[in-house]
């Protein structure tokens, strides 16, 4: 699986070029499944958010990039569907476009649906995360970002990468997400951690990490 972990979608030409590179072909020749699930879990969630994501009317460019085809994969529906059926949908897609919202809620449904178990077996799949859709791939999100609380009371995500993400750095809609707060957050994470803004994404292929940015970002907790 190839990862493009974005803060706010495909916001600039460098991030879009990274996506095309991961796909290995133009977006117009690629099929995608969008995953709106995280949009229902945030404390301030409303049904308009997932609709805007699915319809491509979100301010975070992902769905409206000119894909050959786009389908919807709603994780809460998957436990009631024959597994072989939905797994075939995922295997046939070139990309998964995963909405923002609440990372722990998303992680819960990725595990419960079986998608989390499936993902590592998809070497050619391009996973494109948006905010919580990116954070869910990390080991921990940190208390700063806990909204929906799992029964375990922990902030653990899927751990499919070995770093954590502090998104929406210095964004006007998130005035609390300052670099100083990111530094405090990173001190409690206990591992590598990136603070990224809306013009930044993190590309991961075979464990190799590359920051793709026309904005601001910082890596914390390095050993070098």
Tens digits of per-residue pLDDT, 128-158?
999 999 999 999 998 888 877 776 768 889 9
Predicted local confidence at residue 123, as pLDDT: 94
- Structure tokens of 177? 């997400």
Give me the half-sphere count of Cα atoms (radius 13 Å) on the Cβ side of residue 54.
Answer: 15
Rounded Cα–Cα distance for residues 126 and 43 (Å): 29
Q: Which residue has the tokens 């796909």?
A: 23
Q: What is the pTM of this model?
A: 0.94
Predicted local confidence at residue 166, as pLDDT: 93
Domain layout of the chain by residue ranges: 2-220
pLDDT per 10-residue tile (average), the chain, 224 residues: 96 97 98 96 84 89 95 96 96 97 94 96 96 95 80 84 91 81 89 94 95 95 62
What is each CA distance from 196 to 51, 54, 78, in whole angstroms? 26, 24, 32
Predicted local confidence at residue 173, as pLDDT: 78
| Angle subtended at Cα 35 by Cα 152 and Cα 103, rounded to the nearest 5 degrees | 30
Contact criterion met (CB below 8 Å) for 85 and 120: no
Q: Are strands 164-166 and 193-196 parallel, antiparallel or unpaired?
A: parallel
What is each CA distance from 78 to 72, 105, 110, 111, 123, in whole angstroms? 11, 15, 10, 11, 22
Predicted local confidence at residue 224, as pLDDT: 42
Domain 2-220 bears CATH identifier 3.40.50.880: yes
Rounded Cα–Cα distance for residues 100 and 49 (Å): 9
Residue 80 CB: number of other CB atoms within 10 A? Answer: 7
Rounded Cα–Cα distance for residues 195 and 126 (Å): 22
- Structure tokens of 77? 């529906």
Predicted local confidence at residue 151, as pLDDT: 66
- Structure tokens of 150? 């799992």
């Amino acid at each position: 699986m190839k990862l493009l972990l974005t803060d706010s979608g495909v916001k600039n030409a460098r991030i879009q070029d990274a996506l095309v590179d991961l796909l290995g072909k133009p977006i117009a020749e690629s099929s995608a499944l969008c995953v709106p699930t995280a949009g229902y879990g945030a404390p301030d969630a409303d049904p308009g958010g997932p609709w805007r994501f699915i319809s491509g009317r979100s301010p975070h460019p992902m769905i409206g990039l000119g894909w050959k085809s786009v389908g919807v994969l709603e994780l809460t529906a998957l436990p009631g569907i024959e597994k072989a059926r939905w797994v075939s949908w995922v295997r046939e897609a070139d990309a998964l476009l995963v909405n923002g919202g609440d990372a722990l809620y998303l992680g819960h449904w990725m595990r419960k649906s079986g998608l989390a178990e499936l993902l590592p077996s998809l070497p050619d799949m391009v996973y494109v995360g948006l905010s919580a859709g990116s954070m869910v791939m990390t080991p921990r999100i940190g208390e700063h970002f806990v909204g929906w609380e799992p029964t375990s009371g922990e902030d653990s995500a899927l751990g499919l990468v070995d770093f954590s993400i502090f998104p929406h750095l210095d964004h006007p809609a998130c005035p609390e997400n300052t670099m100083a707060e990111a530094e405090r957050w990173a001190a409690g994470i206990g591992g590598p951690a990136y603070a990224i803004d809306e013009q930044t994404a993190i590309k991961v292929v075979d464990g190799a990490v590359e920051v793709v940015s026309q904005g601001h970002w910082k890596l914390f907790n390095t050993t070098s």
